[in-house]
Structure 1
Amino acid sequence: MLKLTSSSLEDAKRLICAAEAKAKAIGSPSNIAVVDAGGNLLAHVRMDGAQIASISHSINKAFTSLACKLPTYVLGQDAQPGGQLYGVSNTVEGRIITFAGGIPLKFGHDLVGAVGVSGGTAEQDREVAEAAETVL
């Protein structure tokens, strides 16, 4: 049995295609990023009309969900004032993003990469990222 240890460019294209379809369906022009198991950018798309400021957010959401091994919306819950991870967004040279849109990608039990989405509301970003997750 072949064991997938990292997302490939082919995987990234499929993930982005699914995310882009969801973003169009809900009217949320988005930046969509996919990183491999090492946190390295595999692919990024900025849909027509997506915010330029959200480019780095999408990439860093993917990095964050991979590095922390959980969706960014979950991290965000613990990063609120008084939470056990309050202040985490000031770590890793500011790359940690604590709002929705980052989803780690697993193949079986192995973490193989992550997707990050930014450009809509937190809920829209989460929906678009979750749509991408379904194709791996």
Structure 2
Amino acid sequence: MTVLLTDSLSQALGQWLVQQARADGLAPVCIALSHPDGVLHYFLRMDGAPVRTVAIAQAKAYSSARFGTSTLALQERLHRESLLLSDFMDPNLCALPGGIPLELGSTLIGAVGISGRTLAEDHALALQANTFLQQYTD
């Protein structure tokens, strides 16, 4: 059986992430959810999130989905192996922390990209998405 990032799941996860972002009192963010192939499925720009964060959030979700790993891990790999993003011949890639694969069990169902805060704060909020998925499926 193929597990997908459905419309209803995307809406629920997106709204839950907005609630988390509002509750912690930090800067507003853009939230992007993509399918495993990296194609954007859901996007929300919170009031006050800078325009520049729109494309960044989408690129983080895309990159995390395409590599099946966090953008933080991708960034670490680039440094470790002395690689450039351009080496992958894909202009849509982003290695800024804040992109996380979305998994149900061991199945990759998509990825989330968060942008609008410090890189560490983007990453921390993105990590919460899998916490939601565990609760959503229980």
Cα distance between partner residues in 2 of 1:92 and 1:5: 29
Q: Which amino acid aligns with 1:95?
A: N
**Identity rate, percent:** 29
- Give the conservation status (yes or no) of the 8 Å contact 1:65–1:103: yes
RMSD: 1.6
Tell me whether 1:132 sits opposite 2:129 in the alignment: yes
Distance 1:8 1:123, change over 3 A: same
**Residue in 1 that maps onto 2:65:** 66
Q: Which amino acid aligns with 1:24?
A: R
Partner SS, residue 93 of structure 2: coil
Report the alpha carbon displacement of residue 23 of structure 1 after superposing the two structures with TM: 1.5
**Residue in 1 that maps onto 2:136:** none
- Give the conservation status (yes or no) of the 8 Å contact 1:115–1:133: no
**Residue in 1 that maps onto 2:56:** 57
Gaps of 5+ in 1: none
Cα distance between partner residues in 2 of 1:8 and 1:67: 18
1:13 to 11, 14, 28: 11
Partner SS, residue 21 of structure 1: helix
Normalising by structure 1, we get a TM-score of 0.88
Structure ranking higher on relative contact order (CA contacts 8 Å, 6+ apart)? 1
2:105 to 104, 108, 123: 108
Q: Deviations over 1:70-100 (max 9, x none)?
A: 01111111222xx215202563432111121
Cα distance between partner residues in 1 of 2:82 and 2:107: 24
The runs of at least 4 aligned residues of structure 1 exceeding 3 Å deviation read 89-93
The count of aligned residue pairs is 132
**Residue in 2 that maps onto 1:87:** 84
Distance 1:19 1:89, change over 3 A: farther
Structure with the higher helix share, 1 or 2 = 2
Gaps of 5+ in 2: 134-138
